Structure formats: C-alpha cells, structure tokens
Chains A and B, each alone.
Chain A
Amino acid sequence: MTVARDSPSPAVPPIDDPSAPGPLTGIKILELASEWTAFAGKVMADLGAEVVLVEPLGGSPLRRYEPFLEGVAGPDRSLWWWHYQTSKLGVELADDDPRLGELAAHAEVLLTDAPLRTDGLHRDDLIHVTITPFGRGNPRDGEPATDLTILAGGGPVWNCGYDDHSLPPVRGAGNQALHTVGLHAVAATLVAVLHQRRTGEGQRVDLSAHAAANVTTEAGSYEWLVAKSTVQRQTGRHAAVNPSTATTAYDNRGRPVNTGFPPRSVAEFRAVREWLDTLGLTDQHLEAFFLDLAIERGGVHLSELSVIPEAMAMFGAGRDALLLIAATLTDHEFFVGGQQRGLAVGVINAPEDIVADAHFQERGAIVPVHHDDLDRSFLYLGAPIAFSRSPWRISRRAPRLGEHQDTNW
C-alpha cells in the first residue's frame, strides 16, 4: 500500500515496570536437559515461564560443550551452557529419583528429547513436548543426527554456498537446526497451552528437527512443490532456478556489503541517481541512462524482468550503481547512506559488530547478565521481541549443578 514515508511513527509505549512479569508467567515447565530442548526451554524461560531443568547425577554432558570461559574447561564455564540455560532453575536427579515424578505431577509442560523413562509421566492434562531429530515413531526415528547432518539432509545446506559448485555447500553457523526446531517447539507448546487453558486438556506435542529444516528453505521447497524446479546455490544471494546477478559488493576496504534488492520504484531509482551524482560517480556508470529511463517509465516490477528486456536492463543498471557506490565508502557509510535514501541495503556485520551498534544497544538486544559466582557481568544476546506490557528478560544466569535442588512445586 502506498503511504508517505514520513508518516508519524509514535514509539512503543514505555513499559510501565521493567521488572513486570513476562507473558508466560505462571507456566511451569519441567525440562530434561538435552541439546534438542535447550533453546526452546530458554526462550520460554526468558519469556517468564518457570522452567526447572533436570540434570542427571554428576551433571549434564552439555556442561562439557565448548567454548569455555577463557578457554578453560569446567562444569560452570561452558558458554554453550550459559547461553542456552538462562532463566532456568537447576536440579540434579538420579534417573530413578521419585522427585522427577513429583515435579512432573505439578508441571503444565514436560519438555524432553523423548527418553523412555518419561513415558510414564504422562497424564491427561499434561502437555508433553518431545523434540527429536526425526520425530517419534517416524521410520527414521533413532538415526544418529547432529545440527550439521540435519541441516544437510533437510535442505538448508543445499541452498547455501557459492557460484563455484566445486566448493562445498555451506552449513550456516550457530546451531541453527537446534534453533529452527526449537522455535517450532515453542510455538507448538504455546498453542497447546492456549488449548489446555480453554479445555483443561493436555496432549502430546511431537517435534521433528528434520521436518523443521525441510520447511525452512524458502524457494528450495516451493519451487519443487509447485513447478518441479530445482534451485541452485549462488554466492551471497538466494539459491535460484535461474541465475541472478551478484548482490555482494565490496567497500573501500574490501569488506563485503549487501546491496539488497536493486531499485524498482521510481523513488528508489531517483535515490540511486542522486547518490551517484552526490558522490561524483555518474560518469563512471556506463549505463546511467537506464536509471533515467526507469524513472521515466515509472520503475520496474519483478514480474516484468523475464518478459521485458528493457526492464532487466534498468534493474541491472540500478544494481551496478550500488556496486559502484559501495566501492567508494566504508561498509557502514554505505548502509546508513543507502538506507537514509530509502534503499534497502545492508552492512554485513560480524558478531562483534553487533555489540557496538547503536540499534542493538538502544533496543535491548544486548544485555548484561550478572554472574554472582564470578562477581562479573557479561553481555548476552537480549530481547528478540519487545513486549510493551510483559517484557522478555533473562531473569538469572544458567544454573550451577544442583543449585536449586530444593525447588518444590
């Protein structure tokens, strides 16, 4: 819909009380520690649910996941553990400890990777969420799997890599198979909670990481489903059936930037034209006249590219202009300068750049978390979503082994 760019934009109403309870306050979740459940449990705990994390005697093997604080191993030094177990309470229980049943009896949600010993804990009003690589009862249930193999078998890896197909396709970093199924687990759990609140009825909620990856490939799946076409990976841009031109440009230090979607609207073509002029680069753009043509004809639409040759030339001229401009600026100057002109271009930040960026700081996307045991605070990834009345919050650091052993519901 067409709306003036300078429409009023009132800020989100201030949160009345930053310590106000999160949206999932009052939901009791019993989680049996597993790498498959960790992210879902963290998200719900940071949203205010009371999550009790059960570890086996001696501690969860996840405490031995690298990286470690200062590179030194120790049960309370795993940064993997720190990140994924925030806001949870920790108890240490033997497999046959009757307290597991006592805690489960008062839990609204049981979150596990489906060990057999939890089957006896089911009851009619319990929401029993299981996250496994292939789903319970699936013919592939039981196959060994990791984040890497799930992303490889499930589609994302096929999409990702370089124009040069002698280079291997790429698995994106950051445990994204765990995140992908984890987000689906959170959403499905909340659906079940709403149903339970309305009817009193619990249910089993079964998640498959393989299925989750398979429906997280965008065109990779729907090109095949709709047209039996196969996308091919391309450097720094969407895998596609038909090759597209480059979107990665390089700044004046050789750092990559993302030129985004090339100009399509008249306003975008005008902005690029003006930016070229401002930087004195118009003469260096061999086909700047296509920018003027695009302005005269009212822009181009994506659906025209395959049927009107001139439209493709205009589209390409816009992209070439952005490549030229990027090479004269720093990556951040290109990002801010383009965006201030209404062009959706991007800076390719490394993780350390996030910490210094005013956007993430102002929005609380990076927050300090105090580790009383170390008498230090560390910056963590903060709110993924800003609720105005029930804020997301890391309520405590990850638990030490057995730290909340006396928890009793």
Chain B
Amino acid sequence: MALEHIRICDFTGQLAGAGATRYLAAYGAEVFRIEDPVTKGMWDILRAVPPYVDDRRGVDFGGAYNNHNVGKEGITLNLRTDRAREILAELIAKSDVVSENFATGVMAGFGFTYERMKELRPDIIYVSNCGFGHRGPYRKFKTWGPIVQAVCGLTYTSGLPNQPPAGWGFSYMDHHGGNWMAIAILAALIHRERTGEGQWVDMACTDAGAHMLGPMMLEHTANGRVFRSNDQHSTHSDSPRMAPHNIYASAGTDDWVAIACRDDGDWKALAGVIGIAPDDERFATVTARKENEGELDDVVAQWCVVRDKFSAAAALIAVGVPASPVQKPEERIDHDIGTSEWGLWPTVEHAAMGSVRVDGLPAKLSKTPWSMTRGGPVLSADTETVLGRVLGYSPEQVTALREAGVV
C-alpha cells in the first residue's frame, strides 16, 4: 500500500484529529493510537457515546469512535509514570510522525516538546492540531467543531435571511480539520523526502476553517461588503450568477429539492419542464431573473410542492438542469447508486462490536487503493503486539508493565 512504510505515533482523538490518521491508515500507514489506561481512553468523548450497534455499552461500543479510528491499533500508556514516558520516547525514536490534537501545552506537559522529540528522532514530523494553534493570543483557548466554525466565520455564513445563523448542523470543521491535518502530514513527508528535514506543523483548526470562506473574504477586503449588515445574514443559496438557485419544498414530509439554473440555456430547459414561456420577459435573462427572484422562486416552488422530490429532480436532470433531492441518510446511503456503486460504505470488523459499516473515502487510486477492514481499536487491545513488534518487548514484559500500571 502507498503508505505502508510510514509509522505514526498517534495521540489524535475525536474527529478533527482522529480523521487525519484514519485517512493515512486507509492507505496503509502503521498507526498506533496511544490512550490513557487510567481514564480508559475517555479523553476521547466518542469512546462511549451513541450510536451503538446493540444494547451493550462502554468504552468499546461507541459507534462514532469506531468510525473515526478504523485501521488503527490501540495501545495504552500511563504517562503519569516515568516508565511510560521512557516507552513513549522509544516509540517516537522509531516513528516517522507524532500526531496529536490536545489543547496547547499537553504534549509539553508530558515532557515531549518538539525539541525533545527531535533529540529522539532528528527528522521527526510533529503535527499538532488544536483550535487556535500553539501560537497567538488564543493559544490556550479550547474548542470543539462548533466553536471553530463560529469563530472562523463558517457559522455566520450559513443561514436563512432574517433567521439566526444555522451553523452547519454538524462539526464540519472536524471533518476538514482531519483532512487538513492529513494534508499537513503528507506534505511534511514529501518535504522530508526532498530535504531530509522533519518539522513541527502547528495547525489551528480555526485558521483552516477561515480558509474555507472562499472568495467571501475578498468580497469584504476588496469590495467592502459587510456581511453583518443590520445583523442579518443572507448567504443561503446566494449565487450572483444563478437564478433560480434555491431549495424548495416538495410533496412529502420534510422533503425538499434543490435546483440550480446556471445560465439562460438551463433556464430555457427548466421553463419548458415547469410550463413557463422561455421568453417571459420577467425571467428571460439572468439579470431579469435576479431582479425578479422572489417571483421566480414562487413559480418554481409551486411546481415543486406537488411533486415527489426524486421525480422533480429527475425531470430537470433529464433536460440538463442541475437538481437534486435533499437526501435523507437512508436515501443516500442505502438507495443511491452514486454511493453504493462507489463502494462508499465499507464494512469493518470491530473486535467487540462485530461487523459495522463506516464512512469510506471519495477517491479511487488505480494502483494503491484505500482499504478499510479493521474496526477501531478496543482499548489497549494491541499494546502487547505493538510494543513487541516496534520495541521488541516480550509478552511477559508487557504483562509486568500492565501489572505495574504503566500500560
């Protein structure tokens, strides 16, 4: 596999960190995730929370934890003890990457500053990922995905006019925190190949989140657009070049269909389907459609509201107009050929939960494909294996360490 030569000493958790090393493990990287035996790994809140596959509960039954940690091995080290810190030093010396998404100062608190890691392994790549990074006035502040999204601007820009911000409805920046962190690790590996140098990559999830605002920032800095005009935001379905461009109610319960009319050609096709004269001067050009967008939305909404969302979208797609039902989870996971034919929902085997479907990846590499077969680690299940394979410890030594409260 593409990354089978890469070893990662991994402290990441939740999704913003765990998602990064999950990604690299899918391409073959050797990832051993280090957790705390004293708290039973509960620093990662997802270890024991729903969803569950059945009635069993506990640190080995959190469905989200499994999803975010597929392909990793799990070991425990009680870093309150000197012996565990010695073992960690031995592991770092034999690793390519150290990854973590603790709050600022936690790794240093364990005694593992970047300088210390570099002494252990001169070309080590250390990637830290926390909400505000290890530098700057907010470096000691704490975040979760929704806080990152609030501070970086993504929450404000997601909502309906005259309503409070909707936010994202999930930790969007946990996903992309993980993706940016994976990119950071991969880019640092490429840099190391070229120069022989390791480095510390200091990732702040809020910076990465702000980077996702796209051209909106230039709208402000170059054109002076103020998004908080009258304390209302109005970016939902905001497209200066497309109309109609919105989400409309369809027949059914909480069913909706999205339609995007890219240009006048799309409009002619759309008008034909919904029974509007294509040369109706209210809507004939994009300028006219933007000027009369409220009226236009009413016309399109009337057509949608009596139709099944799938049928409505299909009728428009058939004439080349972008449209899509707002798909519910069951619809897009179990009944959408676009995901099933992709193989997007692989089944992994979790040592405690059994067979569980998880998120796959949206890239197909023809020579080095990703693979997900192994579930997330049961707490400390691989301590003996990893310490044996990487450091040459015998099972008896590991048993003694376990009895001494070190692992």
> Is B110 part of the binding interface, using a Cβ–Cβ cutoff of 8 Å?
yes
Q: What are the residues of chain A within 8 A of B158 when measuring CB–CB? A: 160, 170-173
> Is B358 part of the binding interface, using a Cβ–Cβ cutoff of 8 Å?
yes
16 residue pairs A–B, Cβ–Cβ below 8 Å: A3-B102, A8-B108, A12-B134, A13-B200, A84-B214, A134-B338, A148-B260, A173-B238, A174-B157, A210-B339, A346-B155, A347-B150, A351-B156, A378-B218, A387-B199, A389-B199
Q: Which of B302-333 contact A (CB under 8 A)?
A: 317, 320-330, 332-333
Q: What are the residues of chain A within 8 A of B104 when measuring CB–CB? A: 9
Residue of B nearest to A214 (CB): B339
List the one stretch of B161-169, B386-394, B395-403 in contact with chain A: B161-169
> Is B283 part of the binding interface, using a Cβ–Cβ cutoff of 8 Å?
no
Residue of B nearest to A302 (CB): B49
Residue of A nearest to B216 (CB): A351
List the 10 shortest-distance A-B pairs measured between CB atoms, nearest first.
Answer: A7-B109, A159-B169, A211-B362, A152-B258, A346-B150, A226-B63, A153-B324, A172-B158, A160-B169, A188-B363
Assembly CA distance A174 to B237 (angstroms): 10
B189 touching A194, Cβ below 8 Å: yes
> Is A222 part of the binding interface, using a Cβ–Cβ cutoff of 8 Å?
yes
Q: Which of A1-20 contact B (CB under 8 A)?
A: 1-13
B210 touching A360, Cβ below 8 Å: yes
Contacts known (A160-B168, A384-B211); A203 close to B367, Cβ less than 8 A: yes
Residue of A nearest to B141 (CB): A339
> Is A121 part of the binding interface, using a Cβ–Cβ cutoff of 8 Å?
no
Cross-chain contact of A256 among B164, B179, B186, B208 (Cβ < 8 A): B164
B194 touching A25, Cβ below 8 Å: yes
B327 touching A155, Cβ below 8 Å: yes
Contacts known (A156-B172, A174-B157); A9 close to B139, Cβ less than 8 A: yes
B219 touching A12, Cβ below 8 Å: no
Residue of B nearest to A221 (CB): B359
Cross-chain contact of A214 among B207, B256, B362 (Cβ < 8 A): B362
Interface size on B, residues (CB 8 A): 177
Assembly CA distance A363 to B338 (angstroms): 40
Contacts known (A194-B3, A346-B146); A205 close to B183, Cβ less than 8 A: no
B237 touching A148, Cβ below 8 Å: yes
Cross-chain contact of A153 among B45, B64, B66, B332 (Cβ < 8 A): B332
Mask: chain A, 209-243; 1 = CB below 8 Å from B; 0 = not: 11110111111111111111111011111110100
Residue among A4, A184, A185 with the highest chain B CB neighbour number at 10 A: A184
> Is B31 part of the binding interface, using a Cβ–Cβ cutoff of 8 Å?
no
A14 to chain B, nearest CB (A): 10
> Is A385 part of the binding interface, using a Cβ–Cβ cutoff of 8 Å?
yes
B2 touching A194, Cβ below 8 Å: yes
Assembly CA distance A395 to B15 (angstroms): 32
Q: What are the residues of chain A within 8 A of B188 when measuring CB–CB? A: 23, 387, 390
> Is A381 part of the binding interface, using a Cβ–Cβ cutoff of 8 Å?
yes
B169 touching A238, Cβ below 8 Å: yes
Assembly CA distance A184 to B175 (angstroms): 11
Mask: chain B, 85-110; 1 = CB below 8 Å from A; 0 = not: 00000000000000000111110111
Residue among B136, B363, B367 with the highest chain A CB neighbour number at 10 A: B363
Interface size on A, residues (CB 8 A): 172
Cross-chain contact of B172 among A147, A158, A172 (Cβ < 8 A): A172
> Is B204 part of the binding interface, using a Cβ–Cβ cutoff of 8 Å?
yes
> Is B406 part of the binding interface, using a Cβ–Cβ cutoff of 8 Å?
no
B137 touching A359, Cβ below 8 Å: yes
B146 touching A384, Cβ below 8 Å: no
Cross-chain contact of B67 among A154, A222, A343, A348 (Cβ < 8 A): A222
A183 touching B180, Cβ below 8 Å: yes
B156 touching A191, Cβ below 8 Å: no
Assembly CA distance A135 to B344 (angstroms): 12
Q: What are the residues of chain A within 8 A of B132 when measuring CB–CB? A: 359
B105 touching A146, Cβ below 8 Å: no
B222 touching A339, Cβ below 8 Å: no
**What 14 additional pairs, Cβ within 8 angstroms, besides A173-B157, A303-B49?**
A11-B135, A67-B240, A160-B158, A206-B366, A215-B360, A228-B330, A236-B165, A255-B231, A343-B142, A349-B156, A352-B227, A359-B138, A365-B204, A390-B191
Residue of A nearest to B301 (CB): A168
A145 touching B324, Cβ below 8 Å: yes
Q: What are the residues of chain A within 8 A of B336 when measuring CB–CB? A: 153
Assembly CA distance A138 to B259 (angstroms): 22
> Is A294 part of the binding interface, using a Cβ–Cβ cutoff of 8 Å?
no
Residue of B nearest to A201 (CB): B367
B247 touching A351, Cβ below 8 Å: no
> Is B383 part of the binding interface, using a Cβ–Cβ cutoff of 8 Å?
no
List the one stretch of A75-83, A95-103, A112-120 in contact with chain B: A75-83
What is the number of contacts between chain A and chain B, taking CB atoms within 8 Å? 582
Q: What are the residues of chain B within 8 A of A152 when measuring CB–CB? A: 247, 256-258, 324-327
Assembly CA distance A296 to B323 (angstroms): 55
Residue of A nearest to B339 (CB): A214
Cross-chain contact of B220 among A233, A335, A352, A389 (Cβ < 8 A): A352
Assembly CA distance A381 to B222 (angstroms): 12
A354 to chain B, nearest CB (A): 5
> Is B337 part of the binding interface, using a Cβ–Cβ cutoff of 8 Å?
yes
Residue among B197, B239, B241 with the highest chain A CB neighbour number at 10 A: B239
Q: What are the residues of chain B within 8 A of A140 when measuring CB–CB? A: 337-338
B218 touching A3, Cβ below 8 Å: no
Assembly CA distance A126 to B330 (angstroms): 38
B202 to chain A, nearest CB (A): 4
Q: What are the residues of chain B within 8 A of A157 when measuring CB–CB? A: 247, 256, 258, 326
Assembly CA distance A160 to B171 (angstroms): 11
Q: What are the residues of chain A within 8 A of B193 when measuring CB–CB? A: 194, 197
Assembly CA distance A69 to B169 (angstroms): 33
A350 touching B227, Cβ below 8 Å: yes
Contacts known (A173-B157, A184-B363, A208-B342); A363 close to B133, Cβ less than 8 A: yes
A353 to chain B, nearest CB (A): 7
Residue of B nearest to A220 (CB): B329
Q: What are the residues of chain A within 8 A of B238 when measuring CB–CB? A: 173
B317 touching A174, Cβ below 8 Å: no
> Is A373 part of the binding interface, using a Cβ–Cβ cutoff of 8 Å?
no
A194 touching B190, Cβ below 8 Å: yes
Assembly CA distance A4 to B325 (angstroms): 49
Cross-chain contact of B207 among A23, A156, A360 (Cβ < 8 A): A360
Q: Which of B325-373 contact A (CB under 8 A)?
A: 325-330, 332-334, 336-339, 341-342, 344-345, 356-368
Mask: chain A, 178-193; 1 = CB below 8 Å from B; 0 = not: 0111011111101111
Q: What are the residues of chain B within 8 A of A350 when measuring CB–CB? A: 153, 156-157, 226-228, 233
B200 touching A145, Cβ below 8 Å: no
Q: What are the residues of chain B within 8 A of A301 when measuring CB–CB? A: 42, 48
Assembly CA distance A236 to B233 (angstroms): 14
